[in-house]
């Protein structure tokens, strides 16, 4: 089992969700986050004075997947979240040692 964590552009969230659902991913968690990468930030202006925005809003998604789906899930996120512009984000894959479904107590692959 792997935990896939990806940082994507906020407006891509619905596309990514739909694409992942269609390949059989049953759930994910999304969080509003801020960060910077190669895109850096930009400047804004307030009452006549400029200031730098050095952290940009992004969405972090996390999904736990069975080993046989990992490659396909990563591929799906990559194609749907991609705009080709700087700031599209990154995908991280972690090993996942245990999973428990709280309601039933099922574990690992049964809980996914």
CB of residue 72 to other proteins, shortest distance in Å: 36
Give whole-number Cα distances, 47 to 44, 50, 55, 56, in Å. 10, 8, 21, 21
Residues at the interface with other proteins (CB under 8 A): 44-51
| Closest CB to other proteins among residues 37, 41 | 41
CB of residue 49 to other proteins, shortest distance in Å: 4
Q: Torsion angle, CA of 80/85/89/92, rounded to 10 degrees?
A: 70
CB of residue 47 to other proteins, shortest distance in Å: 6
């Amino acid at each position: 089992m792997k935990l896939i964590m990806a940082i994507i552009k906020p407006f891509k969230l619905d596309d990514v969700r739909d694409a992942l659902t269609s390949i059989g991913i049953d759930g994910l968690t999304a969080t509003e986050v801020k960060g910077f990468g190669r895109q850096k930030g930009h400047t804004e202006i307030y009452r006549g004075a400029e200031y730098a925005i050095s952290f940009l809003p992004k969405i972090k998604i996390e999904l736990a997947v069975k080993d046989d789906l990992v490659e396909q899930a990563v591929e799906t996120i990559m194609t749907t979240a991609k705009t080709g512009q700087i700031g599209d984000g990154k995908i991280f894959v972690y090993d996942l040692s245990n999973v428990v479904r709280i309601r039933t107590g099922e574990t690992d692959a049964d809980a996914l």
